Structure 1
Amino acid sequence: MAKTLGETKDVLIGRAERQMREHFGDTELTTRQKLALTCRILFDGGHDSGLAGQLTARGQEPGSYYTERLGLGFDEITEENLLLVDEDLNVLEGTGMPNPANRFHSWIYRAREDVNCVIHTHSLHTAALAMLEVPLVVSHMDTTPLYDDCAFLKDWPGVPVGNEEGEIISAALGDKRAVLLAHHGQLVTGATVEEACNLAILIERAARLQLLAMSAGTVRPLPPALAREAHDWTSTDRRNQANFAYYARRALRRHPDCVTGEVRI
């Protein structure tokens, strides 16, 4: 006999959250491994655009972060060829040079102590939406983690290798987790690599859905209170960990070379 059919939604949400805390948690992956896996996850998700785009995650020492070596595509990144750089993009560990456009990541890390990972790509559908100078519209339950959490920078500041672009992009991001950059692409942030990876996958899907919906008619808005509820429900650490673990397992089957040794997820 069912015992929960008369329970309120709040009670059921609380029950589900307790169960997720019991069944899901952080993996034993290192930051390097998580970042390498994220590169492969995003490559498979259509985020590659030649050598454009950067992924970074804070290092153990203040003012340091991991990033890819310029000249390698997302599908070539491994935990061993990642670089550790400082805020001036001097290489602390590894061989090669980082993408000079990483400079604006330093500005974001300085402005946002809560951010530990930044992902910027020129993924196909976010770039197409950016060409229209149209903000991201969240109108589907799957994309509600981005509801009222994606800023919009309408004015393209040019190639982001100067400090001016760092100031402009970090200011446009504000206190949100994502920003759509007109005539450019997308940028998402996370308190963890897992959170940023999930949002990067999601913002590309959201842009694709929006373009499809716009081609068929007028996108209708979500009820704000319900959208906010869904945003909070889908933005927990446990949900991020569970989603990332799935993406990582799939990436490992396709790209076993991106990490060293055997890993369990």
Structure 2
Amino acid sequence: MTNPSAPHQTLRDKAYFDRRATDEMARHLAPAGRSLHETMATSCRILAMTGQEAGLAGQISVRSDRPGAYWTLRFGLGFDEATPADFIEVDRDLNTLSGEGMANPATRFHLWVYDARPDVNAIIHTHSPWAAALAAARQPLVIAQMDMTPLHDDCAFLADWPGVPIADQEGVIISEALGTKRAIILAHHGYLTAGGSCEEATYLAVYLERAARMQLRAQAAFGPLTPVDPTLGAEAHDYLLKPVIVNATFDYWARQAG
């Protein structure tokens, strides 16, 4: 196929531009080089900046190198006041192994997600305003616009609230409902994102909240939404979840959050 405005130029396949952009991003977008706890504190600031603090209900965890353990923000602090010194390591029964303080008792369900998903290294859970509104309306996410596509075919829906997730059974229910996806809307509750890294879980959390806001606003104005084409949605999902894009976006938000 040729371009009518440039008859001697052959149109190149989209994969060519994908490879070229990916190679150039790898050369020009260097990661920031934070420690684990610096990254977690930065994630908390980003969540606070984007209106997702949710009192003490907000949760963040990252899988520890120690089997069956994870790092989390000590209970009693909000996202907006987290510092790198405020993270503790806890075991399978939420006993504190490193640091001072206790874990949020409701992070127990994180253990079940980590057990079921070896690919997951970080979890964010909160009751952010727009995602919580979607949860209150008991509606799954509809991927109807490009900025929603990091969640295309990657956001599960739990239709029935199992109650405050401080026991084991809620972990079983939530982890089974999440399945192989990176995010889930929990009806009557909130959401969680599960990433291969803290940066990815944060990236998905910010875009899920934006997607929920977009969905509710568009539905209020125009009624039911039309999902994006599934083939194009899958293409955009994979492109926008490239680690170099995820990490560069996280770094940008980090600069905004200060």
Structure 1 residues 5 and 81, CA gap change in structure 2 (3 angstroms): farther
Distance apart, 1:24 and its partner CA: 2.4
Q: What residue ranges of structure 2 are gaps of 5+ in the alignment?
A: 1-5
Q: Would you say 1:219 and 2:225 are equivalent positions?
A: yes
Q: Which residue of 2 aligns with 1:49?
A: 54
Q: Which residue of 2 aligns with 1:139?
A: 144
Give the TM-score, by structure 2 length: 0.94
Q: Distance in 2 between matches of 1:5 and 1:96?
A: 63
Q: Distance in 2 between matches of 1:87 and 1:93?
A: 13
Q: Which residue of 1 aligns with 2:253?
A: 247
Q: Would you say 1:111 and 2:116 are equivalent positions?
A: yes
Structure 1 residues 4 and 174, CA gap change in structure 2 (3 angstroms): farther
Distance apart, 1:138 and its partner CA: 1.0
Q: Which residue of 2 aligns with 1:161?
A: 166
Distance apart, 1:94 and its partner CA: 1.4
3-state SS in 1 of match to 2:85:
coil
Q: Which residue of 2 aligns with 1:123?
A: 128
Q: Which of 91, 95, 98 is the equivalent residue of 1:90?
A: 95
Q: Would you say 1:32 and 2:45 are equivalent positions?
A: no
Task: Please list, as runs of the form range in 1=range in 2, the aligned pairs for 1:166-181 lying within 5 A after superposition.
Answer: 166-181=171-186
Letter in 1 for 2:75: L
Q: Which of 224, 235, 238 is the equivalent residue of 1:232?
A: 238
Task: Please list, as runs of the form range in 1=range in 2, the aligned pairs for 1:73-88 lying within 5 A after superposition.
Answer: 73-88=78-93
Q: Which residue of 2 aligns with 1:258?
A: none
Letter in 2 for 1:244: F
Give runs of ≥4 in structure 1 deviating > 6 Å. 2-5
Distance apart, 1:6 and its partner CA: 3.0
Give the TM-score, by structure 1 length: 0.92
Distance apart, 1:159 and its partner CA: 0.7
3-state SS in 2 of match to 1:135:
coil
Letter in 2 for 1:174: G
Deviations 1:14-36 (A, max 9, x none): 11111112222433101111001
Q: Distance in 1 between matches of 2:183 and 2:142?
A: 13
Letter in 1 for 2:115: R
Question: Comparing 21-30 with 147-156, which one deviates more in the overlay?
Answer: 21-30
Q: Which residue of 1 aligns with 2:203?
A: 198
Structure 1 residues 4 and 10, CA gap change in structure 2 (3 angstroms): farther
Structure 1 residues 223 and 99, CA gap change in structure 2 (3 angstroms): same
Kindly indicate whether the alpha-carbon contact (under 8 Å) linking 2:58 and 2:78 is maintained by their aligned counterparts in 1.
no
Question: Comparing 193-202 with 63-72, which one deviates more in the overlay?
Answer: 63-72
Deviations 1:189-218 (A, max 9, x none): 110111011000000000000000110122
Q: Distance in 1 between matches of 2:117 and 2:227?
A: 30
Structure with more contact order per residue of length (Cα contacts < 8 Å, sep ≥ 6): 1
Q: Distance in 2 between matches of 1:19 and 1:82?
A: 35
Report sequence identity in percent: 50
3-state SS in 2 of match to 1:89:
coil
Deviations 1:139-169 (A, max 9, x none): 1101100000000000000010010000000
Q: Distance in 2 between matches of 1:243 and 1:181?
A: 26
3-state SS in 2 of match to 1:52:
coil
Q: Distance in 1 between matches of 2:72 and 2:162?
A: 23
Q: Distance in 2 between matches of 1:18 and 1:5?
A: 22
Letter in 2 for 1:145: P
Q: Distance in 2 between matches of 1:190 and 1:210?
A: 23
